[in-house]
Amino acid sequence: MSAFLIAAFLAYSLAACADPAAEPSTESSDLPVHKAGDIILADGSVIEEEDLTSIDANNFPIAVIAEIHEDGTALGVGVHRSEDSICWQEAEEFSNTYAKAHGLDGECGAGWYMPDISEVHSIYENREEINRSLQKIYELDSLASMDGLDTNWYWLSTLSETNEHYVWLFMDGESRPMWESCWFPLSFPTEAVS
């Protein structure tokens, strides 16, 4: 048997760190060129994974880009997840206190939320790029990041038709509705994870 963690991670809108005085642009040539796997720092700047050579205590990684939208905004994944299996209510609290718990304030302290099912699909599709960046951050400072999106289950903000919150399994890219209980961790036969 192999145990799985049901954890929380957060999505992040890069638009939250954008200069509020800047005029929005729809010209594709005016949009910054970012890609899945790029790292968002605490000051709102974005760097490529290979350009991160150390962790600056004043400008540390806060998210990894999962997807760039047509309007130039980005969906990011917070670099930390909950440490233990948690129920949905605890995942919601993790979402609400994430910025404060990780020293994020100002504009980059806003915009954190639990992703919905369509956003997690994008995260899953780009998991290899995201994992490379998370692992690079973790190698430089194991307290600065989780070490990747592994075979855990993660809570989503999406509700099923029966009012159950969905969980997403990064091993196989499937989501399943689950009651908001705290009887975790779940165990599955190891054959299911091969």
Average pLDDT over residues 187-194: 30
- Does position 1 have pLDDT exceeding 60, yes or no? no
Task: Give the amino acid at 156.
Answer: L
- For range 109-115, the mean pLDDT: 82
Helix 127-140 with 117-125: angle, nearest 10 deg: 80
CB 165 within 8 A of CB 88: yes
21 band by pLDDT with thresholds 50, 70 and 90: very low
Buried-state track 44-59, b at ≥16 Cβ within 10 A, e below 16: bebeebeebeeeeeee
Q: Which residue has the tokens 């504009």?
A: 107
SS3 of residue 25 by DSSP? coil
Question: Computed from CA positions of residues 118, 92, 90, 139, in that sequence, does the dihedral angle turn out positive or negative?
Answer: positive
- The string of DSSP codes covering 71-136 is TS-EEEEES---SS---HHHHHHHHHHHHHHTT--GGGGS-EE---HHHHHHHHHTHHHHHHHHHH
184 secondary structure, DSSP code: P
Nearest to 17 by CA among 111, 134, 147: 111
* Nearest C-alpha neighbor of 151 from the set 136, 129, 168: 168
**Residue-wise pLDDT tens digits, 64-88:** 998 888 877 788 888 887 777 777 7
pLDDT at 15 over 70: no
Residue range 120-145, pLDDT digits in tens: 888 888 989 999 999 999 999 988 88
